[in-house]
Amino acid sequence: MIGFLIKKTFYDLWDNMFKIVVINIGFIAATAIPIFLPRFVARFINSTALEIALSAFGILFCSVYLAAVAVSVKPISDYSSFSFGDFLRGFKIAWPAGLVIGFLIFLLYMVATIILPFYIAFESSVGLVLAAVIFWATVFALLSFQYFFTVYIRLGSKKIYKSFKKCMLVFLDNSGFSLFLFLHNTVVLLISLIFFFLFPGPAGILLYLDEALRLRLLKYDWLEANPDADRRKIPWDVILIEEREKNPSRTFKNFIFPWKD
């Protein structure tokens, strides 16, 4: 299943490279708000509170932008496409999810930079236990909520708390797969540095997560149709027959000159 997931995502990224790059350029531009705007304003107004507020606004805007990206890439994994008009409409659909994840990112940052070092500095067993609990809770949050955008959009969980609940359920039932996704996307993020985040970039990572969840949900459709089956032995070769027919292997010539194949 993982091999097919990587192949399909690569094909979809290749077929939609121009749109992916343009969306990533937009995200790079959006990151200028929290990075440069507070410094620029500080030249004219000396206010720490204003700088913090502008940085927070920039982070939230970037998060909302990513939520709109998640809306846009969903049709790609569904064997369709999207227009940039659809991308703009994505802001209207996903802005609540973007704001929530923005606040969550800020919370995790506070945990990693302030709360966790505070308890470690206790130099006592109580401090170490509390630090360990906070650390593993943070790991659980990272592995669970990596699905948040695609769960919110694909599963129609318009109530935020239901999306969080579904994210945790997906992680608990697919813990090894979730860890692989997190490590894979970390590697992809590092590779994106070589291309200045233009490709695959954030849009590519969100597409991969959406592809992953969509394919993983096929398992539950199969289990519903086969209630007596062993959940530990999922026949992915059977489940993915139709998907593989829609994604036949390509030659190098087909990648470069698809109209000649």
8 Å CB contact between 166 and 155: yes
What are the tens digits of pLDDT across the range 113-159?
A: 888 888 888 778 888 888 899 999 999 999 999 999 999 999 876 67
- Banded pLDDT at 260 (limits 50, 70, 90): low
8 Å CB contact between 159 and 141: no
What are the tens digits of pLDDT across the range 80-103?
A: 988 878 788 888 888 999 999 998
In this predicted structure, what is the pLDDT of residue 117? 86
In this predicted structure, what is the pLDDT of residue 258? 63
Q: How far is CA 26 from CA 22, 33, 92, 145, in A?
A: 6, 12, 17, 23
- Banded pLDDT at 200 (limits 50, 70, 90): very high
Other CB atoms within a 10 A radius of the CB of residue 40 amount to 10
For 79, the 3-state DSSP assignment is coil
- Banded pLDDT at 67 (limits 50, 70, 90): very high
Q: What residue ranges do the domains of the chain occupy? A: 2-251
Written as one letter, the residue type at 167 is: C
Out of 81-85, 172-176, 229-233, 235-239, pick the least confident: 81-85
- Banded pLDDT at 217 (limits 50, 70, 90): very high
